[in-house]
Every structure is written in structure tokens, then in C-alpha cells.
């Protein structure tokens, strides 16, 4: 077995079993334990797992949710690159949905100014920025506004989504795990996220590489519920292989020398990054 194939299978074993034993891996692959230690060290350096005494465990456990104001400057170049790649999926006409999120928020300043495009969102800061820039027709879905994400959630939001259909939905993610699926720490956000997936003819998941391998308490869909994943160049090759093996299209965006889009008059504390 080639080194790359062996290491790919080790990653899958860690994700499935939750822990692998170095001695057992040595027997399974008919190689000495020193070879396995080198494999585990390389996979840890690549962010695929975490070494522990005698073996390895998954790299990350539960995803944490911070307030949007604290995420403004995090991985800005990567998120902007993702948005520039995702904007290519804007349809020739029709309706799109932009979900609240620190990556999807970048789309607002990149969208074409077209009167025939209906833009629906559950993010107050995105709606304000789009309106400020005069981009197309903008509508929010209503509902309780969560202070952590400025997202509209709960019964009003779900009722509106049940009566809407979108050509393309641009969604973010707190956590993406190939086994557990798409998940978020908050149940009200999970319910709205699931409704968005159900309302879209095509779903574009915009997420940076740090969200892969994470899980959160509230699952709202499978990875295969999205049609296209747009991420940054920091994603590991094995993650790309796994996504494609599931039949999900993947596009990686290089954040190198990506210029900032035009700013608006909306206060910076109201904007996602």
C-alpha cells in the first residue's frame, strides 16, 4: 500500500472509531511501529488528527460559537477569496438566499447590481449593506435576532422559509464532519439552516478550512445535502478527496493578493468578515 493511501485510511479509522492504537495499526498495515509513528506525526502536522500516548484521536471535538463582532478579523483573506469564488454561482436571474455568517457576509459587496435578482437573507447586517449599496431587491425573513450571529431565527423565520424557493442558497457552517454532517451549537439556528437547505434548488457551502473535522451539538444536514463546497487553499488533500468521493463538487480559492471590496456606510461592527 502506498504511503498516501495508508495515511488516508488511518484518518478514516480515527474519524470512525474515535481513537486508533499504533500497535494495532502496525499489524493492520503490516508495517513496523516506527512507520506508523511517522504516519501519525505527519497527519498531526497536517491537522488531520491529534497524537496521544499509544495512538491518535480526532483533531478537534466540538465547535465553539463566538459573537460575530469577535470574528470580524478572523481569516479575512481566506473568507474574501471564498466569496469571490462563490459569486460565480449567482444565477442569470431569479432568487438567491444569503445565510447569516462570517464568510457568507462577504458576498454582499461582490454581488452584481441587477434589478431582476431577488436577494433574501436572514442576516440583518447583510440586508442593511445590500440596501445601502442599492443591490437588486432585498428581503429578510423576519424572526428573533440572535445576538451571537445577527441571524433571524425561530417560528417567523421558519414560516417564511416554508413558502419560499431559491435558485441558489449561499450558506455557511459552524462545523463540517463527513460522518456527523453539518452542525451548529444552537438548535434555533439548526432549524433555520435545515429549512434553507430544503428551500434551495442548489446549495453552495462557503466555509474556510478550519471548519472541517469539527462537530457541534445540533445536526441539521448531511454533507451530501450541499451541491458545491467553496473553501480556501488550506484544506487538506484528504478532505478534498473525501468530499469528492461523496459526490460533492469542491472549489478551492487562493487568498493570495485578494483586494478588499468597496466598503459601505454600515458600521464595521455590524459587518461579518
2-25 pLDDT, tens digit per residue, is: 999 999 999 988 877 777 889 999
218-244 pLDDT, tens digit per residue, is: 999 999 999 999 999 888 787 888 899
Among 169, 149, 133, CA closest to 261:
133
Percent above pLDDT 90 for the chain: 54
CA pseudo-torsion sign 233, 236, 241, 243: negative
Could you tell me the pLDDT band of residue 69, with boundaries at 50, 70 and 90?
low
- CATH for the 3-58 domain, from 2.120.10.30, 1.10.10.10, 1.10.20.10, 3.40.50.300: 1.10.10.10
Torsion, Cα 151 154 160 161, to 10 degrees, reads 70
**Position with higher pLDDT, 187 vs 270:** 187
pTM: 0.76
Site of grid cell 487568498:
255
Mean pLDDT of the chain: 86
What the block records as the C-alpha cell of 49 is 488528527
- Collapsed DSSP state (helix, strand, coil) of residue 56: strand
**Residue ranges of domains in the chain:** 3-58, 68-270
Name the burial class of residue 268, with classes exposed (0-12), middle (13-18) and buried (19+) by CB atoms within 10 angstroms of its CB.
exposed
Average confidence (pLDDT) over 40-45? 92
pLDDT for 27 equals 95
What the block records as the C-alpha cell of 208 is 474556510
106-164 pLDDT, tens digit per residue, is: 898 888 777 789 999 999 989 998 988 886 899 999 999 998 888 999 999 999 999 99
**Position with higher pLDDT, 60 vs 233:** 233
pLDDT for 271 equals 41
pLDDT for 50 equals 83
pLDDT for 215 equals 86
Q: What kind of architecture, by CATH, is found in domain 68-270?
A: 3-Layer(aba) Sandwich (3.40)
| CA atoms within 13 A of residue 153's CA, in its CB half-sphere | 17
Cβ atoms within 10 A of the Cβ of 32, count? 10
Taking CA atoms, 250 is separated from 82, 126, 169, 256, in Å, by 12, 25, 16, 19
d(CA 242, CA 88): 24
Q: Is the pLDDT of residue 264 over 80?
A: no
Residue 245: partners with Cβ closer than 8 Å, 6 or more residues away: none
Amino acid at each position: 500500500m502506498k504511503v498516501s493511501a495508508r495515511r488516508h485510511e488511518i484518518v478514516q479509522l480515527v474519524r470512525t472509531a474515535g481513537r486508533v492504537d499504533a500497535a494495532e495499526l502496525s499489524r493492520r498495515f503490516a508495517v513496523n511501529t516506527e512507520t506508523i509513528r511517522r504516519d501519525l506525526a505527519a497527519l498531526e502536522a497536517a491537522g488531520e488528527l491529534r497524537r496521544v500516548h499509544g495512538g491518535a484521536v480526532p483533531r478537534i471535538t466540538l465547535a465553539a460559537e463566538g459573537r460575530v463582532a469577535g470574528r470580524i478579523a478572523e481569516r479575512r483573506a481566506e473568507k474574501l477569496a471564498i466569496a469571490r469564488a462563490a459569486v460565480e454561482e449567482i444565477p442569470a436571474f431569479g432568487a438567491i438566499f444569503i445565510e447569516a455568517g462570517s464568510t457568507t457576509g462577504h458576498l454582499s459587496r461582490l454581488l452584481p447590481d441587477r434589478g431582476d435578482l431577488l436577494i433574501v437573507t436572514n442576516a440583518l447586517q447583510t440586508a442593511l449593506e445590500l440596501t445601502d449599496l442599492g443591490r437588486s431587491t432585498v428581503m429578510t425573513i423576519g424572526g428573533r435576532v440572535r445576538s451571537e450571529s445577527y441571524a433571524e431565527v425561530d417560528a417567523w423565520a421558519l414560516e417564511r422559509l416554508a413558502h419560499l424557493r431559491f435558485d441558489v442558497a449561499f450558506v455557511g457552517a459552524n462545523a463540517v464532519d463527513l460522518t456527523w454532517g453539518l452542525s451548529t451549537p444552537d438548535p434555533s439556528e439548526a432549524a433555520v439552516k435545515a429549512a434553507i437547505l430544503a428551500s434551495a434548488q442548489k446549495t453552495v457551502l462557503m466555509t474556510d478550512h478550519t471548519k472541517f473535522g469539527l462537530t457541534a451539538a445540533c445536526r441539521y444536514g448531511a454533507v451530501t445535502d450541499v451541491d458545491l463546497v467553496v473553501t480556501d487553499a488550506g484544506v487538506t488533500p484528504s478532505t478534498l478527496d473525501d468530499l469528492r468521493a461523496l459526490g460533492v463538487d469542491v472549489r478551492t480559492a487562493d487568498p493570495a493578493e485578494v483586494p478588499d471590496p468597496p466598503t459601505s456606510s454600515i458600521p464595521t461592527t455590524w459587518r461579518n468578515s
